[in-house]
Structure 1
Amino acid sequence: MKPTSNSKMQSKMTASLTMFNIDAPRWDQSTFMGRLKHFFNITDPRTLLVSEHELDRAKALVQSCRAGMVPPGTSQEQLFYAKKLYDSAFHPDSGEKMNLIGRMSFQVPGGMAITGFMLQFYRTVPAVVFWQWVNQSFNAIVNYTNRNAASPISVKQIGIAYVTATSTALATAVGLNLYTKRAPSLVARWVPFAAVAAANCVNIPLMRQQELINGITVTDENDNRLGESRRAAVKGITQVVISRVTMAAPGMILLPIIMEKLEKYPFMKKIQVLHAPLQIILVGGFLVFMVPFACALFPQRSSIALSHLEPDLRVSVVAQHGDKVPHVYFNKGL
């Protein structure tokens, strides 16, 4: 029996999918818009509702595609969706499933709740202390989950990073809160952002201190390992700090201005119990756009010029490859 035209077409589609590079970015990652589309895709909060079983199936499909063994009948859209789920839930270095709270897709629901409460309960010291502690605990989980997995960190180092960042946030928040007692109320509303920004500058470098001490793996354009670089680690961590502060800035700077205006209206004075839920919803509106925007500021696969590396590593690369490697590449983390 001769194969039908449909079966021939199916065979051609299956053959083409076996050659499909599932790890190739769907959108051009060298452009900001390409990265923005990518992070809108993988930070989609709806992926949090996907069952563990479906996540495991997505990982299996991604691994099958990498091995060139795509199951018959699989469409390209199914592969794209599997990769979306894989990227949202599994670490890019280790391939291990990340805890739900630490995933970037949890940044919107988790961040909106915590930030909303920080912005609402900023007047009393006990409230400031409690919500800054909650926020730094959340940040510590996110930073640990999204670290460069090639640089292990001990429980002691995690504890030091957590305590130091929390102390920094509390000292900043409580100190500024007391300092701004006589300042305009809007200035006091901006104190939580100052605390969050200061803590991020401490928390992220400390949580990823092993990268600063031992360096992170750098590769050539074809992912061939070249060595470990501390300067690459500094660049990657700096970019992550900038991204995290940018992520929080619009909501924590603009929302206090909005609430300051709204709370002057009589109807808002009558529904004070709804102020916190309102701020949570508004923060969520900011974060839906700011999480992917901030993640897209810098390429995930970052690069650094060979001339900017440590002298010993630079000499080693030149000795092995001559002038064929003008830039090296590394995963900056999130």
Structure 2
Amino acid sequence: SFIRRLLQWTELLDPTNVFISVESIENSRQLLCTNKDASNPASGDQRIQEAWKRSLATVHPDSSNLIPKVFRPAAFLPFMAPTVFLSMMPPKGIKSVILPQVFFYTYMTAFNSINGNRSYTCKPVERSLLMAGAVVSSTFLGVVPHFIQMKYGLTNPWIKRLLPVVFLVQANGMNVYMSRNIESIKGIAVMDKEGNVLGHSTIAGTKAVRETAASRTVLFGTSALIPEVFTYFFKRTQFFLKNPGSLWILKLSCTVLTMGLMVPVSFSIFPQIGRIQCCSREEKMQPSTEETEIFYHRGV
């Protein structure tokens, strides 16, 4: 259920999971492989629960490889919250506009690619070119509203605030589609309820990318809009008139708080293990199982 997924993500997004050592992860994996009760994540054994938490927070479920520390889900909020704040700042020059956008979409592209489905084969050159294209196109789309404001000097306060939010949402949705487009082209592994791989499905790959893109637009749309609304009304208060410097502190705090609430919600909107009906998948795969539903790993 959504509530159970949300509670699980609040544990997996604990910032301390970024610093879990390789030795600790290996010990947890060994415990899960050797303990007969390890197949149940809800086991009452505290050691089993902790081992599952460490494994889910640090190991990719498709490749079983360790996720680099800076791209683990627990590192998402510490990296993204300050970057969203900087990317929404009023433009003061070319560098102040481009640099935050480049960092934002470089990290986002790498995060999407590393934490996506990895059950397909892809050449490193092909993946690198795809990621480079995602960074360039997303950065270009992200800087457009700031250049419009610098050139035309928009005066309407709501247009000035909402235009960057709209472009931010569009750029992040497009970034997911571009950085994980191979999943839609080559297909991702689908399984029966016992976990047996039945083949690769482009329908499942397209669905996984589409759901992830939708969750990202909800995350960044909300995280960018709410601080803008708060600051609009805050600028009309007497406290701001006496302490104008407090505006940026409030906006940064509001961005961090909003993202802190929205990241687990966004990651929980769709289950990590998605499902599709057998009748909706490729005809060439239908004879491989009599199950009515098949499953796939959506990715983060």
Aligned to 2:53: 84
Are 2:189 and 1:189 equivalent residues in the alignment? no
**Secondary structure at the counterpart of residue 133 of structure 2:** helix
Aligned to 2:294: 328
Identity %: 18
Aligned partners of 1:271, 1:166: CA distance in 2, in Å? 38
C-alpha spacing 1:332/1:260, structure 2 compared with 1 (3 Å):
same
Give the number of the structure whose alpha-carbon radius of gyration is greater. Answer: 1
Aligned to 1:246: 218
**Secondary structure at the counterpart of residue 97 of structure 1:** coil
Residue 63 of structure 1: how far off its partner (Å): 2.8
C-alpha spacing 1:261/1:86, structure 2 compared with 1 (3 Å):
same
C-alpha deviations, 1:91-135, integer Å up to 9, x for none? Answer: 112221111121111122111111121123445443221111110
| 1:95 counterpart (51, 58, 64) | 64
Residue 260 of structure 1: how far off its partner (Å): 1.7
C-alpha spacing 1:136/1:271, structure 2 compared with 1 (3 Å):
farther
Residue 185 of structure 1: how far off its partner (Å): 2.7
Amino acid at match of 1:226: L
Aligned partners of 1:90, 1:250: CA distance in 2, in Å? 29
**Secondary structure at the counterpart of residue 120 of structure 1:** coil
Residue 59 of structure 1: how far off its partner (Å): 2.8
Aligned partners of 1:165, 1:229: CA distance in 2, in Å? 23
Assess if the C-alpha contact under 8 Å between 1:116 and 1:277 holds in 2.
Answer: no
| 1:281 counterpart (245, 250, 253) | 253
Aligned partners of 1:269, 1:109: CA distance in 2, in Å? 31
Amino acid at match of 2:166: A
Amino acid at match of 1:32: F
TM-score under structure 2 length normalisation: 0.87
Residue 326 of structure 1: how far off its partner (Å): 1.0
Amino acid at match of 1:101: V
Aligned to 1:313: 285
Aligned partners of 2:173, 2:68: CA distance in 1, in Å? 23
| 1:170 counterpart (122, 129, 139) | 139
Q: CA RMSD in A?
A: 2.6
Aligned partners of 2:70, 2:197: CA distance in 1, in Å? 31
C-alpha deviations, 1:187-244, integer Å up to 9, x for none? Answer: 2233443333222233222222322222111111111121111011000110010111
Residue 270 of structure 1: how far off its partner (Å): 6.1
C-alpha spacing 1:275/1:166, structure 2 compared with 1 (3 Å):
farther
Aligned partners of 2:192, 2:167: CA distance in 1, in Å? 39
Q: Which moved more, 1:214-223 or 1:158-167?
A: 158-167
Amino acid at match of 1:333: G
Residue 284 of structure 1: how far off its partner (Å): 1.8
Aligned partners of 2:65, 2:217: CA distance in 1, in Å? 27
Aligned partners of 1:148, 1:101: CA distance in 2, in Å? 18
Aligned partners of 1:188, 1:269: CA distance in 2, in Å? 21
Aligned partners of 2:207, 2:44: CA distance in 1, in Å? 39
Are 2:92 and 1:128 equivalent residues in the alignment? no
Q: Which moved more, 1:282-291 or 1:268-277?
A: 268-277
TM-score under structure 1 length normalisation: 0.79
| 2:268 counterpart (284, 290, 296) | 296
Aligned to 1:219: 191
Aligned to 2:127: 158
Q: Which moved more, 1:240-249 or 1:113-122?
A: 113-122
Assess if the C-alpha contact under 8 Å between 2:170 and 2:217 holds in 1.
Answer: no
Residue 275 of structure 1: how far off its partner (Å): 4.3
Aligned partners of 1:59, 1:122: CA distance in 2, in Å? 48
- Structure 1: gaps spanning 5 or more residues: 1-30
Count of residue pairs the alignment pairs up = 294
Aligned partners of 2:69, 2:198: CA distance in 1, in Å? 33
Aligned to 2:18: 48
Aligned to 2:32: 62
Are 2:84 and 1:115 equivalent residues in the alignment? yes
C-alpha deviations, 1:274-307, integer Å up to 9, x for none? Answer: 5444433322211222111111111111011111
Assess if the C-alpha contact under 8 Å between 1:44 and 1:105 holds in 2.
Answer: yes
Are 2:166 and 1:200 equivalent residues in the alignment? no
